[in-house]
Amino acid sequence: MIEPRVFSRWHKLVAIGVISFISFAGLEALAYISNLYQIQLYLQASGMIYFFMILWLYFLFDVHYKEESLISRNLSHYVVLRFKHFLKWEHLRYFQNYLILPGILYWGAVILIGINFQQYKLQQFIIIATSISLITCYTFFKEVFHKREINTNHFIILTYVKLYASWLIYAASLGIIWYYCFSPTIFYLVIFLVTFMLLYQALFQFAKLSLKHVFYVFIISALLSASSYFVYKLWNVNYFSAGLFMTAVYNLLWNIFYNKINNTLSGRVLAEQITIFVLIVVMVLGVTNFKARIDRCQF
């Protein structure tokens, strides 16, 4: 008979192995398709891989949230009960919050891989960094589903993953706007929605979800959206550094907000966060040539 501790370790290894394969092999396949310039196949494959990512997250969620009363000897009846159990608002609300970060990571990577045709080194960097981030998310989320809470260390690490995700999606949204000549309004709206979702998920994870805090999240998201207007107007070549600048703004506002709701905001903390923000901005501005111009759509 397998000991519970050994079984748990084996279960964890399988969970990590599956998401590692889905994320790394999936993104590598997308890079290959992208470099063949098969746009329709690229979009179809992207949707299919994301479907498997959702399916695996749901499996991890369902395994740890199943109830004994739902056990049935009839397979079809059991499947019906499982999805009926999943459609409870409490469970659905909990599950959809944990879809946010993997979704932002994945689609940010999909966009950047797609618009950087045959930029092999850049594509590989995005694939490796995003795969590691997705593996981290799924591994920690599995523990959250099992223990019904998130510990401090996991929350801190996921915060860093969110910083990478914010850079990824901010850069990707600006890049695709330039690449396909979409209206900048879409860019401003995406920045608002992505920022709101990331902050909302953070509130949900450490149980600080209240109407007042959601209002603060709305204000921060609006500020990021307003800053995206100036980013669109000023940046004209390097959307990666533009994404980094917006991530610096996101990080500053998030840390002020986080310390505020935890009653740890002080003059010293505020000065530290502003100093970090200024240093990042100086580095970003130092590597960005604002005099360089490319032909792109003007609105």
Sign of CA dihedral 204, 207, 209, 213: negative
Report if residue 236 sits inside a domain.
no
In a domain, 238, yes or no: no
Burial 209-224 (b: 16+ CB within 10 A, else e): eeeebeebbeebbeeb
Q: Does residue 130 lie in a domain region?
A: yes
Question: Residue 62, SS3?
Answer: helix
Which range, 50-64, 126-140, 147-161, 204-218, is most confident?
126-140
* Average pLDDT score over residue span 219-248: 90
Indicate if the pLDDT at residue 8 is higher than 70: no
d(CA 239, CA 171): 5
Tens of pLDDT along 97-124? 888 999 999 999 999 999 998 889 999 9
Structure tokens at 39: 């746009």
What residues contact residue 65 under an 8 Å CB cut-off, 6+ apart?
Answer: 85, 91, 145
For residue 81, give both structure tokens: 């009960």
Q: What is the pLDDT of residue 73?
A: 53
Q: Is residue 205 part of a domain?
A: no
Q: What integer best gives the mean pLDDT of the chain?
A: 83
Does residue 47 lie in a domain region?
Answer: yes
Using the Cα atoms of residue 147, residue 150, residue 154 and residue 160 in order, give the sign of their dihedral: positive
* Domain membership flag for residue 186: no
**How many domains, in total, are found in the chain?**
1
Identify which has the larger pLDDT, 294 or 92: 92
Domain that includes residue 47, residue range: 7-65+75-146
Within-domain flag for 124: yes
* Residue 222: per-residue pLDDT: 95
* Six-digit token string for 245: 């600048």
Instruction: Kindly list the distances between the CA atom of residue 293 and the CA atoms of 88, 282, 290, in Å, as whole numbers in the listed order.
Output: 53, 21, 8
Q: Which of 38-52, 68-82, 129-143 has the lowest mean pLDDT?
A: 68-82
Q: Is the pLDDT of residue 227 over 50?
A: yes
Tell me whether residue 182 is in a domain. no
Phi then psi for 155, rounded to 5 degrees?
-65, -40
The H-assigned helical ranges of 87-150 are 89-97, 100-115, 120-147
Statement: residue 2 has pLDDT above 70:
no
Listed residue (258, 157, 168) closest to 213, CA to CA:
258
pLDDT value at 298 more than 70: no
